[in-house]
Amino acid sequence: MVWWKDVNCYQIWPASFKDSNGDGIGDIGGIITKLDYLKDLGIDVIWLSPMFDSPQDDMGYDISDYEKVYPKYGTLEDMDQLIEGCHSRGMKLILDLVVNHTSSEHQWFKESRSSLDNPKRDWYIWKKPKYDSQGNRQPPNNWKSYFTGSAWKYDEATDEYYLRLYAESQPDLNWENEDCRNAIYDSALKFWYERGIDGFRIDTARLYSKVQTFPDAPIKFPNDEFQPCDMYTSNGPRIHEFHKEMYSKVTSHYDAMTVGEVGNCSREDALKYVSAREKEMNMLFLFDVVFLGTVRTSRFRLLDFTLVDFKSAIKSQCDFIKGTDAWSTVFIENHDQARCISRFAGNNEKSAKMIALLQMTLTGTLFIYQGQEIGMTNLPRSWGIEEYKDIETLNAYNDLVKRNNITDKNDPKLVEFMDAAAKVARDHARSPVQWNSTKHGGFTTGDPWMRVNDNYSDINVENQIDDPHSVLSFYKKILALRKTYKDLFIHGDFEMVDEDNEKTFTFWKKTNDLKALVILNFSNDVVQFEPPQGELLLSNFEIDKALSPWEGRVYIVK
């Protein structure tokens, strides 16, 4: 049996976890001071988001040197200590593998952009301009960047455009070039495996292979100049060849855990990445749940959704591996998503525990995100754009202002944007972890790089750690119970009971000889309920017959 199916994983966003030197930015030293806390919580694997050297335009997803650590986070020696600190406690450490693009400050790109005949020219994706009928220079096609505007950036030095699906300073690597692929394997992967890490979360794992004719994308948003280009960039023609090569040349030589950010695709396409016989990666993150309520290719365009949609998204994630040799994950938060209790539940302690109960019982490897274990919430709606730090939010805001010549903060279009940002911006996940009730929530003794959520004196680790009724103590319980009942919760079959009910979410988890009934009240109303003949395993409220608002129960039925 492989080790990575039954583990509890915890994602750390280094800038905001814990600052150990008072410069206002989280660091590796800070993480090391909290390893005992994580071990005690019941964590087996830490996924550390990028801590490599980087100009930080996209918080480290813009890497300028895979083999160095961002100096404000620490040094290679600090990373060695972190690896050793995890291993000596019986925990593992996985890093982020960001190899769809580098930073434009990476030496490879500096060389590539220096001339048309530089040996690394072909390591990135360069194209000649197009010209319109008036002779104006235009990008090679109409593809839109995930971070607003054209996906192409003009570079004067050689009069060509380079592709950048994310920020201007994140040029896409050209995976068609074999030397480039080998350099990626050596620098981004082997370097770290040889230092002792235990695997990778694979960033944007579906994007490496682009359709090489680079055609215009169909018009989805008629008022927009640039259009989503997923059909030509996601799950492209050679994507599986590339993943198989990465596996055979590197990953297969280590006892590694790999989890791909695959996100948007059909079940059939997704299975190709994680079917065991394909030998590509161990498991993947699917976005069915976290994309609820937003347009997939355009985060700040909100959509209505109901509990029925939420339930069906959970069901499809749980059923994903049914009848296959594939494996999957359970998660509801990460650094790209708003806080789950604000988005999907009652924004209170009780519903934080109810979401924890849900997570306890779902099929796949569980990942929780820093702060989720204490019920951290979204940032207040009253905060202005000056408190938001994420490039995705700021680019979208500035683009809106520019395109509509907005000068007044109360302009309805801006208010609508800020309403959406208050619900779904990535910033909500990125505010500092709330450790205690002292200034800045005990995250730093200096000035934090991002404001700490105003509710830190209520919601923080110190308040909760010795309180048996806290969200934190509840998470400890669910992480332990998930292992005690691993055949049922981690591996069991999911069967929905009340598909169309708009208030409750009731389902079975089943193995051949054990069943659990999970019932969750996703409403502000009391719901009548007939308990099954069985033993109550856990609930987030003192039991009465009816289900109180945001109450959840799990019964074991023999």
Binding site for ligand NOJ (CB under 6 A): 58, 61, 98, 166, 203-204, 261, 335-336
Taking residue 16's Cβ as centre, other Cβ atoms within 10 Å add up to 26
CA-CA distances (angstroms) from residue 295 to 267, 287, 319, 427? 19, 12, 23, 18
Contacts of 189 (CB under 8 A, 6+ apart): 97, 200, 246, 250, 251
Q: Tell me the DSSP string of 198-210.
A: -EEEETTTT-S--
Q: Which class for 98: exposed (0-12), middle (13-18), buried (19 or more C-beta within 10 A)?
A: buried
Q: In whole angstroms, what is the distance from residue 219 CA to residue 78 CA?
A: 49
Task: In angstroms, give the least distance from the CB of 169 to ligand NOJ.
Answer: 11
Instruction: Report the alpha-carbon distance of residue 118 to residue 11 in Å, rounded.
Output: 39
At closest approach, how far in Å is the CB of 441 from ligand NOJ?
A: 23
Considering the complex, what minimum distance in angstroms separates the CB of residue 313 from ligand NOJ?
19
CB of 385 to ligand NOJ, least distance (A): 19
Nearer to ligand NOJ, 172 or 349 (CB): 172
Residue 502 annotated as catalytic: no
From CA 299, how far away is CA 411, in angstroms rounded? 20
Are 199 and 46 in contact, with CB atoms under 8 Å apart?
no
Least distance to ligand NOJ from the beta carbon of 166, Å? 5
- Shortest separation between residue 387's beta carbon and ligand NOJ, angstroms: 19
What does the alpha-carbon distance between residue 78 and residue 29 come to, in Å, rounded to a whole number?
7
Instruction: Give the number of C-alpha atoms closer than 13 A to the C-alpha of residue 169, restricted to the C-beta side.
Output: 16
- Of 53 and 58, which has the nearer Cβ to ligand NOJ? 58
Handedness of CA 363, 368, 373, 377 (dihedral sign): negative
Closest CA to 298 of 459, 499, 147, 101: 147
User: 203, 280, 349, 551: which is the annotated catalytic residue?
Assistant: 203
Count CB neighbours of 157 within 10 A: 9
The smaller minimum CB distance to ligand NOJ, of residues 18 and 299, is found at 299
CB 336 → ligand NOJ: shortest distance, Å?
A: 5
Whether 304 is catalytic is no
Q: Which is nearer to ligand NOJ, 203 or 551 (CB)?
A: 203
According to the 3-state scheme, what is the secondary structure of 134-186? CCCEECCCCEECCCCCECEEEEHHHCEEEECCCCCCCCEECCCCHHHHHHHHH
Selection from 158, 344, 287, 141 nearest residue 225 by Cα: 141
Which one, 261 or 427, has the nearer CB to ligand NOJ?
261
Amino acid at 197: I
CA nearest to 377, candidates 471, 292, 449: 471
Q: Considering only CA atoms, give the Rg of the chain.
A: 23
Q: Which of these is catalytic: 44, 160, 261, 336?
A: 261
Separation of alpha carbons 538 and 451, rounded Å: 36
Residue 118 Cβ vs ligand NOJ, minimum distance, rounded to whole Å: 25
Give the residue nearest to ligand NOJ (CB). Answer: 61
Residues carrying an active site annotation: 203, 261
